[in-house]
Amino acid sequence: MYTWEEIEEHVNSCAACPLCRTRKHPVMGRGDHKGKLMLVAEAPGGQEDLAGLPFVGPAGKVLDELLASVEIRREDIYITNILKCHPPGNRDPLEQEKEACMPYLKYETYLMKPRIIVCLGRVAAQRLIDPGYRITRQHGTWVERKGCFMTATYHPSALLRDPSKMEDGKRDFQRIREKLRELGL
């Protein structure tokens, strides 16, 4: 098994898919490795690609608002993506890219052992919960896998595009806050 530092070194020199030729910086997950809550989104956006950090652009501001609404601090949780490199033009990740990148998320999950995983958006939910996952219908519902509770909510970028979904997004974060309490966390 690798350490966090070794995983990050692998991510930083990764050439497992063609995105390594277009990325500016790979974006490893960030946050508390000993936290209980892991958020998994899709792939770094343009600003994240420049900064090498997750959720520093406009979607990050929306995420901060959702977290603040339930008094969860970024530094107490871990935030990562299915893909560690930015797909040009923010297109959906290709199957081949997801396959190539999944081992990193598996290592992150193995090392952190989160009690709750929240998928931000369809791409993460379909990859981690169910290939047929429908965010609009299923957001905010829970499944338990080997003692880890998993749910999904709208991607913060979707809330930027359609602010009428913000109330639903905030309600999902209240459910996450309740689940943390239920688990005594």
Interacting residues with ligand URA (CB under 6 A): 41-45, 48, 54-55, 59, 81, 157
Q: Based on CB atoms, which residue is closest to ligand URA, 33 or 185?
A: 33
Q: Based on CB atoms, which residue is closest to ligand URA, 31 or 44?
A: 44
Write down the least CB distance from residue 41 to ligand URA, Å: 3
Nearest to 163, CA basis, from 174, 175, 154, 152:
154
Write down the least CB distance from residue 162 to ligand URA, Å: 16
Strand 148-153 versus strand 116-120 pairing type = parallel
Q: Based on CB atoms, which residue is closest to ligand URA, 45 or 114?
A: 45
HSE toward the beta carbon, residue 108, CA cutoff 13 A: 29
Q: Based on CB atoms, which residue is closest to ligand URA, 109 or 157?
A: 157
Name the residue number minimizing CB distance to ligand URA: 41
Nearest to 43, CA basis, from 155, 147, 129, 142:
155
Q: Based on CB atoms, which residue is closest to ligand URA, 139 or 185?
A: 139
Write down the least CB distance from residue 145 to ligand URA, Å: 22
Write down the least CB distance from residue 54 to ligand URA, Å: 4
Nearest to 172, CA basis, from 134, 132, 120:
120
HSE toward the beta carbon, residue 155, CA cutoff 13 A: 22
Query: Is 116 in a helix, a strand, or coil?
Result: strand
Cβ-contact 128, 40 below 8 angstroms: yes
Distance CA 83, CA 95 (A): 11
Write down the least CB distance from residue 151 to ligand URA, Å: 17
Distance CA 18, CA 10 (A): 16
Q: Based on CB atoms, which residue is closest to ligand URA, 56 or 70?
A: 56
